[in-house]
Structure 1
């Protein structure tokens, strides 16, 4: 499926409706709602594309334009959908919420990605830039030894003349799968595949084993900005893999006694070093 443009314009909906309608556009489903949460008011668009026609779409990017009686020109909301079920939400005023007719229109472009296997196969093709061959799972991977050596002390040593592997035409890598190596190296190759919550645990293990700090930095950026992993697990990951910015953020977020007690009772807390526990204790002392 090539990249495709998805456009839709709703009808006008009156202020007394909370469920503002559902539409399905070539397999892209959108449920539109008004929501009041405590004293705040929101418009929410719940997108999903589980339909088989869109299985090759890894996401959508574009914009929503929301128009009202008071603002016919409309206001724009940037949209970046990466999960197969994802909500876009914007806060609005009580006056707008109760006293306006509203409509919306969206223009979204599908993001099409290769399958993991197709992507990895493309990465490891023979080329003039590749001067070494790794063998994983019986599959030959054509790589650039200088590039890998720059990013990884493991590969720097492996390709060194001090090791027998450095003299081999084909270098075997054991106890790892083709998918693992593809996942790891795709985070540092030019066509970068960025981490997500599903890939993070395995990616950290691999980056640690193969000594690729740049892969860990990519993971840390994701965990600082986009993750839904619970804070207790993030704290443990941050310490184990040396993600100092993430560790600092997680400690700062222990900002209530209730959160501190919950974390103290978790199994992840017991795995932390005394040094990190001392930092947590210092933080707790500022809130009691």
Structure 2
């Protein structure tokens, strides 16, 4: 009975946000580790809702009575809009700290505010007393970690262009004219759009293959989540490549020969500071990414760099042709 009540409370909280379109909603879950060593403030990673970035900032400070509190900011992550007065966003949010003992959100604060060039953030300076937050008996801290959460819904977005959302699970979408069976589930898409971007799909849909006249085609050895991710990069959804998506995205775009996605993936690697040169060289060799390979060779400035690379697992995965290219680079550096 208690677990049912908890579930009911969570469902009620989920429905508190105004806005029925889930595509305009998002969640920031900000886990703060080593809370016992927290000094003045920490900032969450950015979370995007329909391409609009949001951050949560947790601060530690005293009020006028010298009582220490945790304050919480909800911050609009602007991109050159702070000087313009042409934009505004209505925001409904529930900000809370997770009670791990009770399995529920506690110390909740509701926010209903219009963000614009004058209001880029909103703060609750005394969200919860610091004493309660770090008191193990209160249930907020576990393994020296505390989790804050902001559940955001946007409405009345003015002056900001929003990328469209495509539902590839909806068979009633008028632009969809083919069902792709992946992991036993149907993904719906447009033959024409896929055919324009992929010669593999173009041949499958329009040449003399058995699949040509089928309304349902099975694609094997593919994860449905990764394929939908690929579709979002083929369609004009504004989807961005991330460190976690790049490998599967490049693998699928190479399999279906989708040049536009391959080019964006290659540029992502060139600009990435997360992947080191050895990883970049491995991908450039595996997927024949010439610009990325040139970028890597240019940044190998010394023989020692190549010698260090030869000690890695990534070097062992290179083709003989790529290894010969590195040897040639060593010879040039020795001249």
TM-score (norm 1): 0.60
Provide structure 2 residue ranges, at least 5 long, that are not aligned to the other structure: 1-16, 18-23, 27-38, 45-54, 61-70, 83-118, 123-149, 155-163
Residue 233 in 1 paired to residue 250 in 2?
no
Q: 2 CA distance for matches of 1:177 and 1:3?
A: 25
* Higher mean C-alpha deviation, range 237-246 or range 171-180: 171-180
Q: 1:144 to 1:63 in 2, by over 3 A?
A: closer
Give 1:129's match in structure 2, choosing from 141, 157, 175.
175
Aligned residues: 208
Question: Contact 2:254–2:287 (CA<8 Å) still a contact in 1?
Answer: yes
CA contact (8 A) 1:149 1:156 kept: yes
| CA displacement at 1:120 relative to structure 2 | 8.3
For residue 138 of structure 1, report the CA deviation from its aligned partner: 3.1
1:193 and 2:222 correspond: no
Q: Which residue of 1 aligns with 2:57?
A: 28
Contact 1:153 1:210 in 2 (8 A): yes
Q: Residue 205 of structure 2 corresponds to which residue in structure 1?
A: 159
Contact 1:196/1:227 (8 A) holds in 2:
no
Matched, 1:171 2:206: no
Query: Quick one: distance in 1 between partners of 2:319 and 2:56?
Result: 49
**Structure 2 residue 189 is matched with structure 1 residue 143:** yes
Give ranges in structure 1 of 5+ residues lacking alignment.
5-19, 32-50, 66-105
8 Å CA contact 1:254, 1:284 repeated in 2 = no
Residues 187, 193 of structure 1: 8 Å contact kept: yes
Distance 2:293 2:194 in 1: 28
Q: What do residues 109-129 of structure 1 show as CA deviations (whole Å, max 9, x unaligned)?
A: 99x799xxxx98724533332
The answer to whether the aligner puts 1:276 opposite 2:322 as a matched pair is yes
Mapping 1:1-288, distance limit 5 Å: 22=41, 27-29=56-58, 60-62=77-79, 107=120, 122-125=167-170, 126-288=172-334
The residue that corresponds to 1:79 in the other structure is: none
SS of corresponding position for 1:165: coil
Q: Distance in 1 between matches of 2:197 and 2:25?
A: 33
Does the Cα contact within 8 Å between 1:187 and 1:218 map onto a contact in 2? Answer: no
Question: Structure 1 CA distance, aligned partners of 2:72 and 2:187?
Answer: 32
Q: In the alignment, what sits opposite 2:36?
A: none
Contact kept? 2:58, 2:72, Cα under 8 Å: no
Q: Which residue of structure 1 aligns with residue 50 of structure 2?
A: none
* Superposed displacement of residue 285, structure 1: 2.6
Q: Quick check: 1:64–1:107 contact (8 Å CA) kept in 2?
A: no
Q: Name 2:142's counterpart in structure 1.
A: none
CA displacement at 1:132 relative to structure 2 = 2.0
* CA positional deviation for 1:184: 1.4
SS of residue in 2 equivalent to 1:141: strand
Quote how far apart the aligned CAs of 1:151 are: 1.2
CA distance in 1, matches of 2:207, 2:81: 57
- TM-score between both structures, scaled by the size of structure 2: 0.52
**Matched position secondary structure for 1:28:** strand
Aligned-partner SS, 2:174: coil
- Aligned-residue offset at 1:52: 11
